[in-house]
Amino acid sequence: MGYICAVGAFSFWGMIPLYWREMAGHSSLELIGHRVLWGSVSLLLYLRFYKQGSLYDLVRMGLKKENRWLLLSSFLIGINWFIFMYAVMQDKVVEASLGYFLNPLINVLLGLLIFKEKVSRLKWFSIFLAFIGLIIFSMGKLSEPAISLSLAFSFAFYGVLHKKSKIDPIEGLFLETSLVSLFLMPYLLHSGHFSLSFLRSGGSDAVWLISAGPVTIIPLLLFTFAVKKIPLSSVGIIQYIAPLGQLALGVSVFGQELEAQSIAAFCLIWLALGLFTFGELVVLKRKNNKKGELSS
């Protein structure tokens, strides 16, 4: 069941550009407003009825001194969502997929710089190949590497903040979306970028906008269930379904052209990811062998 949930979560994320494409008539700012508003509502309903939690307890937990990092993580996830939706609206899905291909390698680099984690020669070589691939990609006339880098780094730093967190991921996400709503909604309402007038008219547009909440939390719920049931190494391999799906959509549905530089860049980055994954599996096998020797 854990593997089914993992494949479901990353397949969902891989196909999600199709959902945002259906709302091309709305601005990215308006869509981020709907995402955080209805995402907060959906998460609150889930926590209230599934986990039997109260809103008061959640707010009190968020106000604790050790959880003040949620302010920064809220900003990062908000920026990440906005840039991704902007990429979809601008038909830059290939750039978005590249960002999520780069993410595991950026995680290694941040692990070294922030947590002083040891990095093997193979991982260093993987990072080097990915860096060369990114340079080649940026040489393309149609590419926008800023989208890829901002997505990769915003999500990587978001992961850094959650690395040592003891807060439940779903509860943390509810607090984050609520904080984004608290700071963003007044601006959106005042500037005219957001309105609830669509509720009066109803129709399919209202259904699409409100469904931004479930679309946000369903893959997250599947993901959190999966990581509890299957090894993280397996999750690390399955996660490539999402950017592969986005890349396929970018070329086949959004009509993006892959220049020679882009193809060469992706080949280098895929080679880097292949070496990185191989190194992770070797380390995991050694650990399992040591555990087997100790138990015997």
Provide the residue ranges of all domains of the chain, joining segments of one domain with +. 2-158+174-295
- If we measure between CA atoms, which residue out of 288, 282, 236 comes closest to residue 122? 282
> Residue 174 pLDDT more than 80?
yes
Lowest mean pLDDT among 203-207, 209-213, 217-221, 289-293: 289-293
> Residue 147 pLDDT more than 80?
yes
Residues 87, 146: contact at Cβ < 8 Å? no
> Residue 53 pLDDT more than 70?
no
- Predicted confidence at residue 230, as pLDDT, reads 76
Tens digit of each residue's pLDDT (9 = 90 or more) over 12-51: 999 999 998 888 888 888 888 888 888 888 888 888 777 6
Cα–Cα distance for residue pair 73/83, rounded to 1 Å? 15
Cα–Cα distance for residue pair 85/235, rounded to 1 Å? 25
Lowest mean pLDDT among 34-38, 62-66, 155-159, 181-185: 62-66
Q: What rounded mean pLDDT belongs to the chain? A: 83
pLDDT band (50, 70, 90) for residue 199: low
What number of CA atoms fall less than 13 Å from residue 62's CA on the CB side?
22
> Residue 271 pLDDT more than 90?
yes
Q: What is the mean pLDDT of residues 120-134?
A: 87
Burial class, 269, CB count within 10 angstroms (exposed 0-12 / middle 13-18 / buried 19+): buried
Residues 213, 38: contact at Cβ < 8 Å? yes
- Predicted confidence at residue 188, as pLDDT, reads 85
- Predicted confidence at residue 267, as pLDDT, reads 92
Cα–Cα distance for residue pair 213/38, rounded to 1 Å? 4
- Predicted confidence at residue 49, as pLDDT, reads 79
> Residue 101 pLDDT more than 80?
yes
User: Which residue type sits at 174?
Assistant: F
User: Which residue type sits at 181?
Assistant: S
- Predicted confidence at residue 168, as pLDDT, reads 79
Lowest mean pLDDT among 102-106, 177-181, 286-290: 286-290
Residues 217, 39: contact at Cβ < 8 Å? yes
Q: How far is CA 135 from CA 80, 143, 193, in A?
A: 22, 11, 36
Residues 148, 99: contact at Cβ < 8 Å? yes
Burial class, 205, CB count within 10 angstroms (exposed 0-12 / middle 13-18 / buried 19+): middle
Cα–Cα distance for residue pair 126/279, rounded to 1 Å? 10
> Which stretches of 202-255 are DSSP H helices?
203-210, 212-229, 232-238, 241-252
Lowest mean pLDDT among 178-182, 192-196, 200-204, 292-296: 292-296
- Predicted confidence at residue 62, as pLDDT, reads 64
pTM of the model: 0.83
- If we measure between CA atoms, which residue out of 267, 245, 238, 269 comes closest to residue 97? 245
Highest mean pLDDT among 51-60, 76-85, 116-125, 187-196: 76-85
> Which stretches of 70-144 are DSSP H helices?
70-89, 93-115, 121-138
- Predicted confidence at residue 294, as pLDDT, reads 62
Burial class, 171, CB count within 10 angstroms (exposed 0-12 / middle 13-18 / buried 19+): middle
Q: For 180, left (φ over 0), alpha (ψ -120 to 50), or beta? A: alpha
- Predicted confidence at residue 15, as pLDDT, reads 93
